[in-house]
């Protein structure tokens, strides 16, 4: 029977830490794994990323041009029609129902939703408050007799 007095970690669960700079017997004495002298051997030593010993760093020498929209782009949680076909039977498709059926997980629960046209849709479903549809998805919904509502 397992009790507090005979509790033990499994073999290999605990590994002794490397005690650096604790004398010659430790195997990490004298220079403590830092080599001989130099800026990187000193306490608090080392240089930042991109530092080139006082010379103008490459990232500052290169010209910077243009504009990148990457920080402002909208990222959508994408759901395929095939996934919706498998999980829904005639009811409304909303953010809440997509989360409940497990099609939106994690951060996707909060992102705007886009429906993609991969897969077949045979059921007449009503899509409520879905942010975006691909053209093929929109056509497939209308072809199946479904509706797209944005309240």
Domains of the chain: 72-149 (3.100.10.10)
**Mean pLDDT taken over the chain:** 93
Q: Outline where DSSP puts E strands in 21-124.
A: 77-80, 92-93, 113-116
Residue 47 buriedness (CB in 10 A; 0-12 / 13-18 / 19+): exposed
Q: Nearest-CA neighbor of 126 among 66, 72, 84, 86?
A: 84
Q: What is the pLDDT of residues 73-130, one digit of tens each?
A: 999 999 999 999 999 988 899 999 999 999 999 999 999 999 999 999 998 999 999 9
**pLDDT more than 90, % of the chain:** 89
The radius of gyration computed from the CA coordinates of the chain, to the nearest angstrom, equals 30
**Beta strands 147-149 and 132-133, pairing class:** unpaired
pLDDT of residue 83: 93
């Amino acid at each position: 029977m397992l009790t507090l007095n005979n509790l033990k970690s499994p073999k290999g669960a605990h590994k002794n830490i490397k005690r650096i700079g604790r004398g010659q017997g430790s195997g990490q004495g004298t220079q403590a794994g830092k080599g001989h002298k130099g800026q990187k051997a000193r306490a608090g030593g080392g240089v930042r990323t991109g530092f080139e010993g006082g010379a103008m760093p490459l990232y500052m020498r290169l010209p910077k041009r243009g504009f990148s929209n990457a920080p402002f782009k909208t990222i959508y949680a994408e759901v395929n029609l095939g996934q919706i076909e498998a999980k829904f039977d005639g009811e409304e498709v909303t953010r809440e129902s997509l989360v409940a059926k497990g099609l939106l997980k994690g951060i996707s629960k909060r992102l705007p939703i886009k429906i993609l046209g991969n897969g077949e849709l045979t059921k007449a479903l009503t899509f409520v408050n879905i942010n975006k549809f691909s053209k093929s998805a929109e056509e497939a919904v209308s072809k199946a007799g479904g509706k797209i509502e944005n309240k």
